[in-house]
Amino acid sequence: MSGEIRHSALYSGWVQHRRFAPRVHAFRYRMGLLYLDLDEQQALFALSPLAGNGRWQPFAFRETDYLPDYTSAGVRLVDAVRARVGEILGETFDGPVRLLTQARSWGLSFNPVSFFYCFDRDEQLRAVLCEVSNTPWRQRYHYVLPVTAELPQRFALAKQFHVSPFLPLDLEYRMRLGPPGERLTVQMEDWQGETRLFQAGLALQREALTRASLHRQLLRFPWMTGKTLAAIYWQALRLAIKRIPLFNHQPSRGPYGLATPSPQERSHEEH
């Protein structure tokens, strides 16, 4: 693994959710994320004694927190990502793998979704693996977005995995993914036929990953994973008070989901 940080970074900004039916419900929160080149882990750990791969450190990264079917058996995370992408797409890419995620914090690891950006040896982005998790079941599911043009690019895919009990499984995801540059954006909408039920988005600003910026991130977001879980359950309580219908937990439809690149403009403007 590399001894210097060349591609890894920190991102901070806003996550927002908006529900359109059967009742309007919206919120947004500040958040901070790690963008880690998986070959630069040791350089990250060398920045500060507050960072490392220990279970209880305030800013930790542990490979076994991701793709546990592979990593718990001793497979390196970079190889696990390549294997899963190869299984889904039928081809593998041997370039860098860079991960956008919430770092483990004070013993707690949870990510509603983590994005693995998979490049070829010419540093061209070829696919994005989305690892989605739910709570309290702590199940995981993988969607692959095959990148066929320069980002931003739109994708459409059938929802295959139960996430929120306030949304049905019979939905279509429509996503717009921007490049991990100075700004990083992700937009996702849930559609049921011609009805848009839900919209979520990330709007983030990049910051160089240094000892000083890492410490600033820890001061701004001292327990990011805990904040995320608390927000999920707080918003679930608000939805329950609004009497939003509940849907029973359902098993996943298949072992993974594959997106279709969607060049046409399918999404409405954000509200």
| Residue 100 one-letter amino acid | L
pLDDT of 270 > 90? The answer is no
Domain ranges of the chain: 9-261
Kindly report, residue by residue over 23-50, the tens digit of the pLDDT: 999 999 999 999 999 999 999 999 999 9
Residue 201: Cβ-neighbour burial (10 angstroms; 0-12, 13-18, 19+) = middle
* Residue 79: other Cβ atoms inside 10 A: 15
pLDDT digits (tens, 9 = 90+) for 190-231: 999 999 999 999 999 999 999 999 999 999 999 999 999 999
What percent of the chain is modeled with pLDDT above 70? 96
Amino acid at 152: P
Average confidence (pLDDT) over 106-114: 97
- Tally of CB atoms within 10 A around 250: 11
pLDDT in tens, 76-108: 999 999 999 999 999 999 999 999 999 999 999
Q: What is the pTM of this model?
A: 0.95
